[in-house]
Amino acid sequence: MMAVSEITTPKAAALHLLCSLSLLVVHWVACNLYSWSLITHTSETLGLCLIVHGPIVIGVYSLVRRDRQHCSYWMAVARGLLGLPVGALVMAFGAIVLGAPVGIRYLKRTAYWSLLMSIFTFVPPACVFGSSRVDWHRIFAHFKPEESLDALVSLPAYGSVIGAWIGAWPMPLDWERPWQAEFSCVGISCTVLEARDHMHHCGVAALSFRVISIREIRCGFYHLRPLIFLVQVVSCLHHIRMPCTFVPMKKVNRG
Amino acid sequence: MVTSSMSCGRLAGWISATVLLQILGLWLFVSGFFPVKPTVPGFSGPESYRMPTCEDVLVDERRDLLPDQLAKMYMDLSQIPPAFDRMILMVIDGLPAEFVLGKDGQPPEKSLMEAMPYTQFLLSERRAIAFHAKAAPPTVTMPRLKAMISGAIGGFLDVAFNFNTQAFLDDNLLDQFYQIGWKLVMFGDDTWIKLFPSLFRRYDGVSSFYVKDTVEVDFNVSRHLEVELAANDWKLMILHYLGLDHAGHIAGRHSLLMTSKLKEMDDTIRMIHTHNTLNGDDDGRRTLLVVVSDHGMTERGNHGGSSYEETDSLALFADLWSESLVYAPNMHNEVFQVDVASTLALLFGVPIPKNNVGVLLIEAFNSLTDEHKLRALELNSWQLLRLLQVHLPHLLCRDLREGARSGQVLQSNEYFDNIEEKLHHLYSKAKAAHTLWKLSERDSSGRSENSTNSYNAVASYYDFLRYGSEWLSHRATDKPMKLIFSGVVLLLLSSVLLFYLLFLQFKDHGTERKFGSALKNCSYVWHLDETFVSLGTFLHIFSLGASSMVEEEQYTWHFLSSTLCLILFYMTMVSFLKEQKTVSVEMKETKLDLHQSQITHISAATYTTRVILMKPLHTYFQKYSLLIVLICGRILRGWHQGGVNWVHLPDISKWLEQASSSCMKALEITSLLLVIMLSLFALSLLKSRTRYVLIASFGIVVLGFLVLLHIIENQPVNRSTSIAQIFYFNFGILVFGTFVLPPWILPLNFQEHTLLMKKSSNSHSSAVKTDGVLMGIQDSLYLVGVMYASSWCLLQLLLQQPVNAIPMLLIFVQTMACIIYFSASGHHRQLVEVAAVYFLGMAGHFYLGNSNTLATIDVAGAFIGISSYSMVFPSILMFIITFSSPILSYLSMLVCISTKDIVSLSLPERPDLSQLLKLMIAFPCLLPLVLNSSVLTTFTLILLVMRNHLFVWSVFSPKYLYVCAGTLSVYIGLYVVAVTVVYTCTVFFFRAKLLKFGNS
């Protein structure tokens, strides 16, 4: 086995900071320069994310590649680029199986999203470990990483997968009322909160996933639906009758 | 090795006890929550003008009368001259009476007064009279309309048991009017057309779907007014305005929209009131304008619950003819919405609808004399007495006329604890007062005394009517909380017990697993699947608290089942990565492990040989079967755009329905052939003798052929019943045959195994014998399970709509692939296996186009092969169609059980019957019960909490019916599984014993 700690803490912190920063920059650019949001300009925002975040991730993770003796920097970059479409295929399969719509109309969005997810999950281990089966198995089979390099690779990946899964949870609400829109602000701040620690990809992944997977049921496009769902259920249980506020859509049900 | 803390018999006893407890609790809750009030069938006729007696004989005398004659007869019998000839019933959806009448004796706000100047003018000029008409919950349109025109307060279950026709079949005013030859016209909410599909001569229904629209809905009603008011042919015109309700939903009770809407309504009232043709034409025809609202609204504009704001609806009567002060000044009367029915019936001279619990509003009869008023009260009392008699059969058998004789009844005012006595007393008192008035009228001694008498009579009639009416309506709406809570407590108790039993099983199983875990040490990924199963169940239960999530439950199930499959896939990939790494080492280790374990070395050796033989096949299966499950699931999800709110979105089934019928037929036949091939393939996998398999295959082919005939011959109009009946017959024989015969016929598997054993070790014969028995049991169960599942699928192909043929095939494939996966992989606990099959079953329920509304139940399919009309068989078929997928999953648990390696896993040398049974069926039976009972109990609690929610009748209650029926399907499926397993095992042990005796 390799040495226990190949990467120092400041280095790891810098890496995370860089990745998070790039995402924040994308968010800022999309919001302020183009006034895009994931809701209105899904594929554009995702594409921007890809262009900015992708090279940074590949570049940074290639720096911390494991076997430096045998593998040059550019080799690691090439591995990452090779891992990108493979991971995207896996992610697209997962998304479609979980309910993302299939069709020409959605092709671009699904492609962008799965490329982005691939950057979050597959590209870092591809850059760092290459095709070493042992390392891949260790990364995928163990939730508790033992080495800091493992943590650097696996935790963001798990975070984004879990975040994407949560974001894809079907939420067939009909968003008719202002209070529901207000929750989008809460959602954004929660995304920022989530961006701390190793989970910095989770929020964005959740956001992006939600956009393509639930589009089919018309309602989607609101930030952090899990939270709203929670609020709704809690309010139901406490019989505050909050759900009544968005009922008009469903007046068909009278009788 | 097995430390059996609870024997199989005791476990079975406990499970059945909890199930019984659950049924009892469910029954208590349902009977408490959905009170079924006894309704009187049929329509009121001339008998309603006669005093009811103890034994009321129902003679229908109207049969051969023409409408005109009937009207004449009613007029003669009632002895009341009809006050009006025509009626305009104007329903303003969602208008709170407070807007017109104010609250607590205070006039309404100034802005509201100004919004409705003409209505206020009518009221202040005493040319109209208005009431706060209290509506009963649920305050949604359809039940309220029913209440107004029938005077009855309905329960939820009468709607549910009406399959999916919404037509109103009980006695009601509109049908009564229609029978006496009235012409009815209707403009407005299409709920009326749903209720009375064939009654209206002219109608224009508007839908209330687009809630944001407040203008068009009302314009579509008002645009007819000009023409219709001038028309002469109608006798009843219904105008139902939805705009005000929509305005409330959009912006709440005090919005600006509301004021303009009120103004518009006021203009309509003015237009009607001032219209020339209505103001008493030459023939002296008088028109009554009735303005009612079906319910009120809350501050935010919603309705459905039982708060004062929601139940405060309006009833306004305006005599269009009279110029003078007709009505008494407004007293801010609080009445009930149901009172409208009897009032209108008596005003227009038709019999009061049978189930009416309302009391006539005497203030609306002001143009009549005292005599007629009292007669009207008397008629209402008789009608109410008839209804009361249904609840209290002995009420009328007392001598009611005794009251008339004895004057002291009038004075006596004692306390009655018996409801019958009290009613009897009140009625006698009213009767006596009426007689007294009649006497004094005949004497015509003094006007003042006369008016006192009449006042007394009216008051005492009211005492009786109000008391009886309230008693009746409480019986219909009051939820007996004791019943409900005892039901909930029982349900909770049974759930807790089931959980505890499962926990005990877990503990037992945990000790058994130790050996199994030695086979494959996948220590890390192990618990991911189990965690997800419990988390997913929890999330699903949690999601049921939201009405939208209930409506779109299919998304939840699809998401859960495919996530579970993805997790399993992930775990497979991880172990695959690992196996590649150390494949040879692991093999050796496994063997080593097995040989080390002394106790079960024989069976373990069998397992090893099997593992080695099957290994390539298994890994091959494992990877691809999950992919098949996932892809099938995705196709199935796209098949039906289920649910409630997004049904209109495109999906495969809609696309197919547009395609030609030959294409559909081809698809049907393809899926049929594939199902047959798949089941034949599954049967051919059986290792034992092929002769029996051939017979079974032949049975399947025959069934398939019958279905094929049915598909080919099937005309959409005239469905052939004979083929379906032959199919049912053959199906019954085949299923019964596969249940009874295989355990007796299938070999005990001695020969091959002794051979096998010789190779591995020198075993002693008893262990081999048990092994043989176990192998036989497995084979037999496999055969029976495959036969059950495939004949069930064939039955579904016969019954389901053509468009569901492919989904049925895919669900079958999914279930089989899932079972193959689990039989091939050793590192999942049985918990996950059973849960995965259960999840697939539940997801399949929605894949077939079912939803949580009663509208998606396939009623047409329920009459396939049924020649005579009866309620029982269609209901059974409907249940079979609706719950096809869950029941399929329970039936295929048999295959699951049979593919488990019970031979090799954790059995003592001489397993007795009870231990074996427990090992086989404890989990497959207990886990679905636990999962289902957790849903059932939670949803019961949710329903209880949500009982005042707007959607309690439209979303939560239908879902509850589905949950109850789902519980029934769990019981049935698991019962079949348990009985089959017990029967098979018993027979095999019996045969082994016989053989032993034969040998010795």
**How does DSSP assign B140-185, residue by residue?**
SHHHHHHHHHH-----HHHHHTTTT-----S--HHHHHHHTT--EE
CATH topology of domain B82-367: Alkaline Phosphatase, subunit A (3.40.720)
Mutate to test the interface with A, among B523, B526, B528, B549 (most CBs of A within 10 A): B549
Residues contacting residue B366 through CB under 8 Å, at least 6 positions apart: B129, B326, B327, B328
Q: How many angstroms from the chain centroid is the CA of residue B408?
A: 53
Residue B88 pairs in a beta bridge with B237, B289
For range B524-533, the mean pLDDT: 74
| pLDDT tens digits, B30-64 | 888 887 666 677 788 888 787 777 765 555 555 56
Q: Residues B529, B499, B817, A217: is their CA dihedral positive or negative?
A: negative
Residues within 8 A of A (CB atoms), B 149-208 only: 159, 166, 191, 194, 207-208
User: How far is A172 from chain B, CA to nearest CA, in Å?
Assistant: 6
Q: Do A248 and B549 touch (CB under 8 A)?
A: no
Strand order in the sheet with B312-319: B202-206, B184-189, B236-241, B86-92, B287-292, B312-319, B128-134, B333-336
Residues contacting residue B166 through CB under 8 Å, at least 6 positions apart: A255, B142, B159, B194, B195
pLDDT at A17: 75
pLDDT at A32 over 90: no
Cβ count within 10 A of residue B460: 23
pLDDT at A69 over 70: yes
Instruction: State the residue for tokens 């409705």.
Output: B116
Candidates B133, B155, B94; CA nearest to B953 is B155
For range B727-747, the mean pLDDT: 88
pLDDT at A255: 28
ipTM entry = 0.77
For range B259-271, the mean pLDDT: 91
A233 interfacial to chain B (CB closer than 8 Å): yes
What is the rounded distance in angstroms from the CA atom of residue B710 to the CA atom of residue B725?
11
For range B695-702, the mean pLDDT: 90
For range B676-691, the mean pLDDT: 80
In terms of pLDDT, which residue wins out, B275 or A170? B275
Element at B206 (helix H, strand E) = strand B202-206
Cβ count within 10 A of residue A112: 23
Q: How far is CA B617 from CA A113, B583, B623, in A?
A: 36, 15, 10
Residues within 8 A of A (CB atoms), B 568-597 only: 570, 573-574, 577-578, 580-581
Q: Residues A153, A156, A162, A164: is their CA dihedral positive or negative?
A: negative
pTM, two decimals, is: 0.74
Candidates B955, B962, B37; CA nearest to B480 is B37
Q: Do B645 and A99 touch (CB under 8 A)?
A: no
A179 interfacial to chain B (CB closer than 8 Å): no
pLDDT at B239 over 90: yes
pLDDT at B571 over 90: no
For range B486-490, the mean pLDDT: 94
Please tell me which residue of chain A has the smallest CA distance to B168: A255
> What confidence category does residue B165 fall into, taking pLDDT thresholds of 50, 70 and 90?
low
Q: How far is CA B730 from CA A42, B684, B723, in A?
A: 57, 22, 10
Cβ count within 10 A of residue B969: 24
Q: Report yes or no: B825 and B622 within 8 Å, Cβ to Cβ.
A: yes
Q: Do B143 and A255 touch (CB under 8 A)?
A: yes
- Rg of chain A in Å (alpha carbons): 20
In terms of pLDDT, which residue wins out, B25 or B147? B25
pLDDT at B495 over 60: yes
Candidates B758, B742, B741; CA nearest to B750 is B758
Q: Among partner residues B559, B580, B645, which is closest to A174 by beta-carbon distance?
A: B645
User: How far is B296 from chain A, CA to nearest CA, in Å?
Assistant: 14
Highest-pLDDT range among B152-166, B297-311, B501-515 = B297-311
Q: How far is CA B115 from CA B196, B250, B272, B352, B850, in A?
A: 34, 19, 17, 36, 47
Q: Do A244 and B950 touch (CB under 8 A)?
A: yes
Q: Report yes or no: B981 and B774 within 8 Å, Cβ to Cβ.
A: no
Highest-pLDDT range among A234-238, B2-6, B622-626, B760-764 = B622-626
| pLDDT tens digits, B779-801 | 888 889 999 999 999 999 998 88
What share of chain B in percent tops pLDDT 70?
Answer: 79
Mutate to test the interface with A, among B645, B810, B953, B955 (most CBs of A within 10 A): B645
What is the rounded distance in angstroms from the CA atom of residue B828 to the CA atom of residue B824?
10
Q: Do B954 and A245 touch (CB under 8 A)?
A: no
pLDDT at B296 over 60: yes
| pLDDT tens digits, B427-477 | 888 888 888 888 887 776 556 667 788 888 888 888 889 888 888 877 766
Candidates B404, B385, B403, B402; CA nearest to B393 is B385
> What confidence category does residue B92 fall into, taking pLDDT thresholds of 50, 70 and 90?
very high
Q: Among partner residues A102, A172, A245, which is closest to B548 by beta-carbon distance?
A: A172
B88 residue type, one letter: I
One-character DSSP codes across A110-124:
HHHHHHHHHHHHTHH
Mapped onto helix, strand or coil, the DSSP state of residue B250 is: helix
B617 interfacial to chain A (CB closer than 8 Å): no
Question: Which is it for strands B312-319 and B184-189: parallel, antiparallel or unpaired?
Answer: unpaired
For range B202-210, the mean pLDDT: 76
Q: How far is CA B110 from CA A247, B120, B254, in A?
A: 30, 11, 13
What mean pLDDT is reported for chain B?
A: 80
Q: Do B644 and A97 touch (CB under 8 A)?
A: no
Cβ count within 10 A of residue B639: 21
| pLDDT tens digits, B594-607 | 444 433 444 444 44
In terms of pLDDT, which residue wins out, B221 or B764? B221
Cβ count within 10 A of residue B787: 26
Collect contacts of A208-211 with beta carbons under 8 A, ≥24 apart.
A208/A38, A208/A46, A208/A49, A208/A113, A208/A116, A208/A117, A208/A164, A208/A167, A209/A95, A209/A113, A209/A117, A209/A163, A209/A164, A209/A165, A209/A167, A209/A168, A210/A167, A210/A168, A211/A38, A211/A39, A211/A42, A211/A46, A211/A109, A211/A113
pLDDT at A39: 59
For range B334-339, the mean pLDDT: 89
> What confidence category does residue B890 fall into, taking pLDDT thresholds of 50, 70 and 90?
very high
Cβ count within 10 A of residue B233: 9
> What confidence category does residue B839 fall into, taking pLDDT thresholds of 50, 70 and 90?
very high
pLDDT at B919: 78
pLDDT at A146 over 70: no
Highest-pLDDT range among B111-115, B610-614, B764-768 = B111-115
A199 residue type, one letter: M
CA angle B716, B718, B721 (to 5 degrees): 115
For range B241-251, the mean pLDDT: 85
Candidates B256, B258, B313, B358; CA nearest to B141 is B313
Please tell me which residue of chain A has the smallest CA distance to B206: A252
Q: Please state the three-class secondary structure of B34-70 as a single string.
A: CCCCCCCCCCCCHHHHCCCCCCCCCCCCCCCCCHHHH
pLDDT at A73 over 60: yes
Q: How far is CA B884 from CA A51, B72, B292, B346, B737, in A?
A: 49, 56, 46, 51, 21
Joined tokens for residue B376: 């009207």
Lowest mean pLDDT among A17-31, B845-859, B886-900: A17-31
pLDDT at A134: 80
pLDDT at B963: 94
Q: How far is CA B192 from CA A227, B203, B222, B694, B938, in A?
A: 41, 10, 17, 59, 36
pLDDT at B278: 59
User: How far is B135 from chain A, CA to nearest CA, in Å?
Assistant: 14
Lowest mean pLDDT among A105-109, A199-203, B102-106, B203-207: A199-203
pLDDT at A209: 38
Size of the A and B interface in Cβ pairs below 8 Å = 149
What is the rounded distance in angstroms from the CA atom of residue B506 to the CA atom of residue A210?
37
What share of chain B in percent tops pLDDT 90?
Answer: 23
Q: Among partner residues B140, B546, B581, which is closest to A137 by beta-carbon distance?
A: B581
> What confidence category does residue B972 fall into, taking pLDDT thresholds of 50, 70 and 90?
very high
Q: How far is CA B857 from CA B142, B845, B862, B882, B883, in A?
A: 21, 12, 9, 7, 10
pLDDT at B225 over 70: yes
pLDDT at B970: 95
Residues in chain B: 1000
> What confidence category does residue A231 fall into, taking pLDDT thresholds of 50, 70 and 90?
very low
In terms of pLDDT, which residue wins out, B305 or B380? B380
pLDDT at B675 over 80: yes
In terms of pLDDT, which residue wins out, B303 or A175? B303
A104 interfacial to chain B (CB closer than 8 Å): no
pLDDT at B478: 67
pLDDT at B89 over 90: yes
Residues within 8 A of A (CB atoms), B 646-685 only: 646, 649
For range B973-998, the mean pLDDT: 89
| pLDDT tens digits, A122-134 | 888 898 888 777 8
Q: Do A239 and B946 touch (CB under 8 A)?
A: yes
| pLDDT tens digits, B538-547 | 999 988 888 7
Domain ranges in chain B?
A: 82-367, 513-999
Residues within 8 A of A (CB atoms), B 901-960 only: 942, 945-946, 948-951, 954-955
In terms of pLDDT, which residue wins out, B144 or A207? B144
pLDDT at B27: 93
Q: Report yes or no: B711 and B739 within 8 Å, Cβ to Cβ.
A: no
For range B548-563, the mean pLDDT: 88
pLDDT at A220: 30
Highest-pLDDT range among B46-50, B678-682, B721-725, B928-932 = B928-932
Mutate to test the interface with A, among B548, B569, B573, B636 (most CBs of A within 10 A): B548
pLDDT at A195: 33
Please tell me which residue of chain A has the smallest CA distance to B550: A172
For range B486-515, the mean pLDDT: 81
B633 interfacial to chain A (CB closer than 8 Å): yes
pLDDT at A176 over 80: no
One-character DSSP codes across B193-205:
HHH-TTT-SEEEE
